[in-house]
Amino acid sequence: MLRPGDILSYVEMCSIEATSSLQRGMNFRLRPTHSVVLMNRRPGAPYANGMDAEGRTLVYEGHDVPQTSKTPLPKTVDQPAATPRGRPTQNGLFLAAAGRYREGLAPPEKVRVYEKIKTGIWVYNGVFNLVDARTESSGGRLVFKFRLELSEQEVGEDVPGATDLPHTRMIPTNVKLAVWKRDGGKCVVCGSRNNLHFDHDIPFSKGGSSLVAANVQLMCARHNLEKRDAIV
Per residue in 71-80, pLDDT tens? 999 999 999 9
**Is the pTM higher than 0.75?**
yes
Cβ partners under 8 Å of residue 47, min gap 6: 25, 39, 40, 60, 61, 63
C-alpha span between 221 and 108 (Å, rounded): 31
**For 97-108, what is each residue's pLDDT tens digit?**
999 999 999 999
The structural domains of the chain, ordered by start, are: 7-167 (2.30.280.10), 171-232 (no CATH)
Q: Mapping DSSP to helix (H, G, I), strand (E, B) and coil, where does residue 230 land?
A: helix
Q: Is the pLDDT of residue 174 over 70?
A: yes
- C-beta neighbour count of 205 within 10 angstroms: 11
pLDDT at residue 34, as a whole number: 97
Least confident of 6-10, 52-56, 188-192: 52-56
- C-beta neighbour count of 161 within 10 angstroms: 10
Q: Is the pLDDT of residue 65 over 70?
A: yes
What's the pLDDT band for 163 if we cut at 50, 70, 90?
very low
What's the pLDDT band for 164 if we cut at 50, 70, 90?
very low
